[in-house]
Structure 1
Amino acid sequence: MEHFDRQYLELLEAVWTRGDERRDRTGVGTRSLFGPTMRFDLSDGKVPLLTTKRVAWKTAAREMMWFLTGNTNIRPLVEQRVHIWTDWPLARYRRETGEDIDRDSFEARIIADDAFAERWGDLGPVYGKQWVAWDTYEPAGDGLFRRGEPVNQIARLIDDIRNNPTSRRLLFTGWNVAELPGMALPPCHMTYQFHVARGRVSCALWQRSCDLGLGFAFNAFSAALLLRMVAQQCDLEAGELVWSGGDVHVYLNHEHLVTEQLSRVPRGQPRLEIRRKPATIFDYRIEDFEVFDYDPHPHIAAPVAV
């Protein structure tokens, strides 16, 4: 059986050696390929958790549960020492105030000051807002519209899988065109579609943009975790995670990461266990998840391009 890492490492090498070198919005520059696909079998608890570098899977799990709350403020994350979304509001704060505050001080103020957190910690209508509270509008007369009942795409997905499992509309998306300008970062992992067959539910994730050096490890694990949660809630087994990327890229300042990771040999077969079935998909806790047989190589530090 091919190790999960092998597909990733082959793609990492292909992007670095054959990718089109281009400038990007961050100014760092990337090498990019378009449209690769990888398939991961999640049967028997298997999970695509990279072993050629340590992945902070609990951080990814906490982020996924934050998405499912619909919250768009970094405060609940930084209270759990999750820093992966801090760079964007921190950059905005520095830009708009001129204060060269460090990340730790910024996060301390986010936690301690309600008004500061409300103003500077919000990311706009990012993932969770679209997933569980997509805005709707209805006519109010005289050509005006009023806000209608928001759509919880995740709750609707679970209901549809349970009651109409052969539907070709088992999906949700974060790509709300009207609200993109207000988002700190438009959704990268943007559309998830599900397919039920022979007692198994599979998921195809379309990711418009993928930072292969840093982001993919989180994206793949998070999608697999979400699929496992959906499967459990619908009394099904987890099938395949089919990951497809649009612009899949490696940043030019990640050469050390590419070189080091490609030199490493995958090891072990990590497995994910969900220890409890809560009443709904919105009620999971971090202690419900446990990863076994995970013995990764050390973490590889690399800068995030904002």
Structure 2
Amino acid sequence: MKQYLDLCQHILETGTKKGDRTGTGTYSVFGYQMRFDLAQGFPLLTTKKTAFRLIVSELLWFIKGDTNIRTLIQERNGIWDEWAFERYVNSAAYTGPDMTDFGRRVLKDEEFATIYKAELASFKEKILADEEFAKQHGDLGPVYGKQWRAWDSANGVIDQLAQVIDSIKHNPDSRRHIVTAWNPAEVDEMALPPCHLLFQFYVADGKLSCQLYQRSADVFLGVPFNIASYALLIHLIAHECGLEVGEFVHTLGDAHLYQNHIDQVHEQLAREPKELPTLKVNYNGRSIFDLTAEDISIEGYDPHPRIKAPIAV
């Protein structure tokens, strides 16, 4: 994972100090590319523990076309909780304590942080217990899964993921093996416009490679997840198409470190990378659309301890 650590160092040395939507502030560079040979091991970060279980359940959530956090909460995955909670507290249905700007306030006000945690926990309990509440307040709008599996067009619904798999199988040399999550007609309806917004597959010498374009990249918290998620996607689709894995090419637009993550980045850079783990998938003759989180695991993962950092909402 030297490529990822080099990116962190590059931003520290050359990044421009910028404001951002969250009000947190970043150090940012524009236009950066990393390449990972998947035959060399599964690219799960070893300089801090990364929650592979969360990566798996989120990717399967995308693959199944789901957009409601109820599924993720059932899998004990809280990656998208804050985005749904933000929509809820900004709606007319919410009548609790003022949650304005909770992402930053929780870092500065211990009393508020206690109130916030209680409100978020109550929200998640309602999502799990009340199906109608979940439908109304757990859905994130037409985010990744909707665009991958059910893109609305004038000619009907398009299942981009199924189409690209069929295209790879029957026309491997095509230059149109593309899936996009950036739907201009629906961006404003999404809890968060897609950051990893377009990916293209490439077949050569019996191997499947993929290039991702990511418009916005939270390098400390988000990018390790993105690398592992798309590496896993390549493995799954390669198997579906009877191919070996090739490269994951990760192209970044605005690659940034949040200003409140800098100490954590220095701590990570002081650590020595370890051997990459190995991916294990129990296909048992099934399509990738039928896999569960229990079917996917890693072996030989011995990372350095986790490094906590606040998420910017």
TM-score of the superposed pair, with normalisation by structure 1: 0.92
Unmatched 5+ stretches in structure 2:
98-117
Per the alignment, residue 55 of structure 1 pairs with: 50
Per the alignment, residue 256 of structure 1 pairs with: 263
Per the alignment, residue 30 of structure 1 pairs with: 26
For residues 226 and 277 of structure 1, do their structure 2 counterparts lie closer, same or farther at Cα, with a shift above 3 Å needed? farther
Deviation at 1:127, TM superposition (A): 0.1
**Preserved contact between residue 70 and residue 129 of structure 1 (Cα < 8 Å):** yes
Deviation at 1:27, TM superposition (A): 0.4
1:137 aligned to 2:141?
A: no
Partner amino acid, structure 2, of 1:99: G
**Preserved contact between residue 44 and residue 277 of structure 2 (Cα < 8 Å):** yes
Per the alignment, residue 145 of structure 1 pairs with: none
Within 5 Å, give how 1:13-92 maps onto structure 2: 13-43=9-39, 46-92=41-87
Unmatched 5+ stretches in structure 1:
139-147
**Preserved contact between residue 276 and residue 288 of structure 1 (Cα < 8 Å):** yes
- 3-state SS of paired residue (1:47): coil
Instruction: State how many pairs are aligned.
Output: 291
- 3-state SS of paired residue (2:271): coil
| Structure 1, 73-82 or 95-104: larger mean CA deviation | 95-104
1:279 aligned to 2:279?
A: no
1:104 aligned to 2:121?
A: yes
| Structure 1, 264-273 or 18-27: larger mean CA deviation | 264-273
Partner amino acid, structure 1, of 2:125: A
Within 5 Å, give how 1:189-200 maps onto structure 2: 189-200=196-207
Residue of structure 1 aligned with 2:89, choices 76, 91, 94: 94
| Distance (whole Å) between structure 2 residues aligned to residue 95 and residue 302 of structure 1 | 25
Per the alignment, residue 142 of structure 1 pairs with: none
| Distance (whole Å) between structure 2 residues aligned to residue 58 and residue 205 of structure 1 | 22
Per the alignment, residue 212 of structure 1 pairs with: 219
- 3-state SS of paired residue (1:131): helix
**Preserved contact between residue 12 and residue 27 of structure 2 (Cα < 8 Å):** yes
Deviation at 1:265, TM superposition (A): 0.6
Deviations 1:24-71 (A, max 9, x none): 010001110011100000116x21100000000111010000011111
**Preserved contact between residue 207 and residue 244 of structure 2 (Cα < 8 Å):** yes
* RMSD, aligned α-carbons: 1.2
Deviation at 1:152, TM superposition (A): 0.4
Partner amino acid, structure 2, of 1:89: A
| Distance (whole Å) between structure 1 residues aligned to residue 65 and residue 297 of structure 2 | 24
| Distance (whole Å) between structure 1 residues aligned to residue 59 and residue 154 of structure 2 | 28
TM-score of the superposed pair, with normalisation by structure 2: 0.90
Identity among equivalent positions (%) equals 48
Deviation at 1:120, TM superposition (A): 1.0
**Preserved contact between residue 278 and residue 284 of structure 1 (Cα < 8 Å):** no
**Preserved contact between residue 64 and residue 289 of structure 2 (Cα < 8 Å):** yes
**Preserved contact between residue 210 and residue 249 of structure 1 (Cα < 8 Å):** yes
**Preserved contact between residue 9 and residue 262 of structure 1 (Cα < 8 Å):** yes
1:162 aligned to 2:160?
A: no
Within 5 Å, give how 1:114-153 maps onto structure 2: 114-138=131-155, 148=156, 150-153=157-160
**Preserved contact between residue 93 and residue 99 of structure 1 (Cα < 8 Å):** no
1:235 aligned to 2:235?
A: no
| Distance (whole Å) between structure 2 residues aligned to residue 187 and residue 197 of structure 1 | 29
Deviation at 1:278, TM superposition (A): 4.2
